[in-house]
């Protein structure tokens, strides 16, 4: 493969929006193990949240996919491969990115939990303010002799 062909493949893989319209591969070999990637992602995405028992499995899958992506990217950058092999690697990397995007978007994440907690605190503060403003707080009632 020529240097300019490598550069084109690398640019395509790193392009923002490269995963738009891309499919998650049915199966993929990660760390020498065949994985039904599409089925795994759809099974996890079907739920609204990741159950605590599945969270470790999902995090491990994401780590393995990132590692596999990096290895495939290095093969394109430095490997002795043909143009066709490079094309296949680029397509598989885009598919891995698509799967990672789907897995990353699962909720609720820690940030979402923090936001929910913040909103609950804001509501408490607001209710406390309203009670004080309307003279319904316990301290105000005691001062008026009630």
Question: Does pTM top 0.85 for this prediction?
Answer: no
Percent of the chain, pLDDT > 90? 10
pLDDT at 73: 92
Do residues 23 and 95 make contact, with C-beta atoms less than 8 angstroms apart? yes
Lowest-pLDDT range, 56-60, 65-69, 71-75?
Answer: 56-60
Instruction: Give the list of residues 6+ apart from residue 27 with CB closer than 8 angstroms, or none.
Output: 34, 35, 36, 37, 38
Please say if the pLDDT value at position 107 is more than 60.
no
């Amino acid at each position: 493969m020529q240097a300019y062909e490598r550069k084109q493949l690398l640019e395509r893989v790193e392009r923002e929006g490269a995963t738009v319209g891309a499919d998650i591969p049915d199966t993929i070999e990660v760390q020498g193990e065949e994985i039904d990637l599409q089925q795994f992602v759809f099974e996890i995405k079907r739920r609204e949240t990741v159950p605590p028992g599945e969270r470790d499995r999902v995090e491990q899958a994401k780590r393995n996919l990132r590692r596999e992506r990096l290895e495939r990217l290095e093969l394109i950058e430095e490997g002795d491969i043909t143009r066709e092999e490079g094309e296949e690697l680029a397509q598989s990397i885009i598919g891995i990115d698509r799967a990672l995007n789907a897995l990353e978007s699962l909720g609720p994440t820690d940030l979402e939990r923090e936001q929910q907690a913040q909103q609950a605190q804001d509501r408490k503060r607001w209710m406390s303010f309203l009670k004080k403003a309307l003279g319904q707080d316990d301290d105000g009632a005691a001062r008026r002799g009630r």
